[in-house]
Structure 1
Amino acid sequence: MSNEKKSADVSSYEPEGPLGEGFHLSTGPGPEKMLQIQRRIHEKMDDYKDYSFSATEKRALMIFFDLAQEFDSLEDFFAVCTAVPRSLFNIDCRLYLAMGPDDFVPVGRTESRAPVCSSVPLEKIFRAGHLFIPIRGNLELVDQLPFKPAGDVIGCFEFYKMDDLSDHQSLFFEKFVNRVGFQLHSKILRRKGQEHLEFVRNLVKDVGHNVIVPNMYFKLFYNRLRDRIENIRKLESDIEGKSIAKIRTDLDILYNGLVSQFNEIHSHYEQTSLFLETLLRRQHFEEGRYIVEKRPCNLLKQIIEPQLERYRSRFEDRGIRLDISMGGVPDREVRIVADVGLISQVYANLFSNAVKYTRDETMCDGRRDKFAAYGWDMVKDYFRNGWDGLKLNVYTTGPHIQEQDREMLFQPGFRSDNVGNEYGSGHGLFFVRQVVELHGGEVGYEPQDGGNNFYFVLPLREN
Structure 2
Amino acid sequence: MGYVYWQTSVFYARQLDNTIQAEIRGLAEQYRLGGLPRLNQVVAQRSAAAGGGLYLIADADGERVSGNLAAPSAALLEKRGRVQFPYRAPAPGGTETRLAIGQVFQLSGGYRLVVGRDIEDRRKLEDIFTSAFIWGVGFIALIGVLGGLLVSRVLLRRIGAITDTSQRIMHGDLSQRLPLAGTGDELDRLAGSLNSMLDRIEQLISGLREVSDNIAHDLKTPLTRMRNRIDTALRDAPDSETYRETLIQTIEEADELIRTFNALLSIARLEAGAQVEDFETFDLAALAADAVELYEPVAEGEDITVSLNAPQPAQVNANRQLLAQATANLIDNAIKYARPDSGEGAITVGVEPAGSHVRLIVADNGPGIPEDQRERALKRFARLETSRSRPGSGLGLSLVAAVARLHGGSIALEDNRPGLRVVVTLPATQTHSGKARA
**TM-score, length-normalised on structure 2?**
0.42
Give the TM-score taking structure 1 as reference length. 0.40
User: Larger Rg: 1 or 2?
Assistant: 2
Structure with the higher fraction of residues in helix conformation: 2
